Structure 1
Amino acid sequence: MSFVVRDVAIVFGLAAVAAYFNSWLLWPLYWFAQGTMFWALFVLGHDCGHGSFSNDPRLNSVAGHLLHSSILVPYHGWRISHRTHHQNHGHVENDESWHPLPESLFKKLEKTTLNFRFTLPFPMLAYPFYLWGRSPGKNGSHFDPDSDLFLPKEKKDVVTSTACWIAMAALLVCLNFVMGPIQMLKLYGIPYWIFVMWLDFVTYLHHHGHEDKLPWYRGKEWSYLRGGLTTLDRDYGWINNIHHDIGTHVIHHLFPQIPHYHLVEATEAAKPVLGKYYREPKNSGPLPLHLLGSLIKSMKQDHFVSDTGDVVYYEADPKLNAQRT
């Protein structure tokens, strides 16, 4: 809860300072800082979804709804689909987050869809659209209790989180009338999209862009452990503490019940055990600019996987790269 108090205080403090000075010299700094803090709020709600925030499920639910609804994320809808991701990480067909496209599906996609998926910055703006319609080849919505994402017993939870999302959206509409749309765009709209870019950037790099090709599995070749070891740790430099060490992703996938404030300690303890199966992140230096290079390289190389085979690797489509060039 101390992290929640800290982050919420910073969010309101940043907004108050930006509104008070209302200077175009400060707004860009505010947008980056506040968008990063929205991302930090998401990570805390992410812990609520895993049950690592508290041993009390009710507190997890209340805190998760408040944190996620404030940044227009349907808490239960996302929590359940994220559970699916963790239960099937590294599985070609069953994974939920940034899973690979089989070659046959890749070749059926329209040119516009391919450009949006593989041409920056569009993939870094994907999260709201994923919430509404999921990824290519998968049906359903995080807002629809009848979606095949959810079990019948989970429908009430989805209705609750969708109602909270609607309430937050209604509040934002009301604030537009009170403060004006331009001021709301500056205070909330642009930081929201910075948050979306952080979320897509970080979650993508957890599963792509390593110097060595990462395997994806099918059938009997897949296991929870093998799938978890296809994730990557990333070093975000001075931002690590701000977004609650979310870059320690390998240990999080193996043991999602570990709270974020123990992830660094747990990672250091696990390194000798994992040995060569732990992929050490590059040292970021003062700014994690090298991660942009990893992202760009991955977007050019990680297009699809083979339709056959129980251990497959990303392949590149030369035609797509030629069109973008």
Structure 2
Amino acid sequence: MASWVLSASGLKPLPSAFPRPGVGAVYRDSLSKPRFLRPAATGSDSMSYVARDVAVVFGLAAAAAYLNNWIVWPLYWAAQGTMFWALFVLGHDCGHGSFSSNHKLNSVAGHILHSSILVPYHGWRISHRTHHQNHGHVENDESWHPLSEKIFRQLDSATRTLRFTLPFPMLAYPFYLWSRSPGKSGSHFDPNSDLFVASERKDVITSTVCWTAMAALLVGLTFVMGPMQMLKLYGIPYWGFVMWLDFVTYLHHHGHDDKLPWYRGKEWSYLRGGLTTLDRDYGWINNIHHDIGTHVIHHLFPQIPHYHLIEATEAAKPVLGKYYREPEKSWPLPFHLIGNLIKSMKKDHYVSDTGDVVYYQTDPNLQ
């Protein structure tokens, strides 16, 4: 069955490129069980994870403030930054509709979760939808898409160096929210941005207002508690969250030992693009950040609730066959992924301006 699914279009895949099957066949043959695609209308399962994560966030903050010593603070920053990232993933599920089948509940929960960590819910939700709809497409993808050689050469030397020199790429997310990526214009906060259509502008305004309210609350708390205390309790964990987000999202689309293709034109398809994503194992962190490492099946079927992603991945493996790449196991912490990140930053710089199946090339000046 797998061989039929993977040649459903009748087209032979190009060497080292992925096939062009119909995504419906993958669903029919592996994921047709209703539980995979139907989160509870009440969001009860997802809300239990929200309650868990929020309790941990406030518990960590209370403990750190109470103990207040420089042995505890670095541990708190690492733990709380990770928990902010976990909250982001739950808000991300709201945007996909995998949190609940109730649209209003998704919107309310998503705004609370994302605004609390300074993410404009609808603005990011819409651009992230664009990412999923165009994953693996050189020009149309939205998140960590490759630069064409022309755009790469047009970058000034400082920007080019910062983009590929760690840790700066791992701090990119807030700047991406304000001005997107090189070669693309617009802002996640501006309802008139070309990221959005007219019918989405009210949603974007709502999210920008919520973001502004959270920013104002943080400013007020800074006056009440003092800037140093707010930096320790919120500021440093926020940047820890940003680093988690950039680290994870980058490595789900880069850093494999085998170069992965990117597509244009008629060579792109939804499943072909989805198969360029990578699963990653994060050891103890897997459960904390809601199994976001099961990224291939999430990209093919983003409506699957996070608590079914592992099961759905196992069900899809026999159908995907050789086109599924097992992640390297990580235990207890994913330190090995730092090596993948460093290697990719040294080698994956741009793709050709022409061609419908392209691969990353290396600028020797950045190695």
TM-score, reference length from structure 1: 0.98
Paired position in structure 2 for 1:22: 68
Paired position in structure 2 for 1:303: 349
> What is the aligned counterpart of 1:177 among 206, 223, 229?
223
Q: Deviations over 1:30-74 (max 9, x none)?
A: 000000000000000000000000010000000000000000000
SS of 2:221's partner is helix
- Structure 1 residue 286: deviation in Å? 1.7
Q: Deviations over 1:64-102 (max 9, x none)?
A: 000000000000000000000000000000000000000
Paired position in structure 1 for 2:102: 56
- Who wins on radius of gyration, i.e. which is larger? 2
Q: Deviations over 1:196-237 (max 9, x none)?
A: 000000000000000100000000000000000000000000
Structure 1 segments of 4 or more deviating over 2 A? none
Please list, as runs of the form range in 1=range in 2, the aligned pairs for 1:123-272 lying within 5 A after superposition: 123-272=169-318
- Distance, in Å, in 1 between the alignment partners of 2:350 and 2:126 is 26
Paired position in structure 1 for 2:6: none
Q: How many residues align?
A: 321
- Distance, in Å, in 2 between the alignment partners of 1:285 and 1:143 is 39
Paired position in structure 2 for 1:75: 121
- Structure 1 residue 313: deviation in Å? 0.2
- Structure 1 residue 320: deviation in Å? 2.2
- Distance, in Å, in 1 between the alignment partners of 2:319 and 2:263 is 23
> What is the aligned counterpart of 1:87 among 133, 141, 145?
133
- Distance, in Å, in 1 between the alignment partners of 2:143 and 2:48 is 29
- Distance, in Å, in 1 between the alignment partners of 2:334 and 2:205 is 39
- Structure 1 residue 302: deviation in Å? 0.3
- Structure 1 residue 287: deviation in Å? 1.8
Q: Structure 2: which 5+ runs fail to align?
A: 1-46
- Distance, in Å, in 2 between the alignment partners of 1:39 and 1:26 is 20
Q: Which amino acid aligns with 2:320?
A: L
Q: Which amino acid aligns with 1:4?
A: V
- Distance, in Å, in 2 between the alignment partners of 1:200 and 1:287 is 17
Q: Deviations over 1:243-266 (max 9, x none)?
A: 000000000000000000000000
1:97 and 2:150 equivalent? no
Paired position in structure 2 for 1:121: 167
- Distance, in Å, in 2 between the alignment partners of 1:314 and 1:115 is 17
Q: Which amino acid aligns with 1:2?
A: S
Q: Which amino acid aligns with 2:223?
A: F
Identity of aligned residues (%): 83
Q: Deviations over 1:110-151 (max 9, x none)?
A: 011111100000000000000000000000000000000001
Paired position in structure 2 for 1:292: 338
- Distance, in Å, in 2 between the alignment partners of 1:207 and 1:178 is 42
- Distance, in Å, in 2 between the alignment partners of 1:127 and 1:224 is 25
SS of 2:291's partner is coil
- Distance, in Å, in 2 between the alignment partners of 1:265 and 1:5 is 23
Q: Deviations over 1:132-185 (max 9, x none)?
A: 000000000000000000010000000000000000000000000100000000
- Structure 1 residue 285: deviation in Å? 2.1
Indicate the RMSD between aligned Cα atoms, in angstroms: 0.4
TM-score, reference length from structure 2: 0.87
SS of 2:241's partner is helix
- Distance, in Å, in 2 between the alignment partners of 1:217 and 1:283 is 29
- Distance, in Å, in 1 between the alignment partners of 2:294 and 2:229 is 36
- Higher alpha-carbon deviation: 107-116 or 77-86: 107-116
- Distance, in Å, in 2 between the alignment partners of 1:28 and 1:257 is 36
- Distance, in Å, in 1 between the alignment partners of 2:63 and 2:348 is 42
Q: Which amino acid aligns with 2:328?
A: K
- Distance, in Å, in 2 between the alignment partners of 1:116 and 1:90 is 24
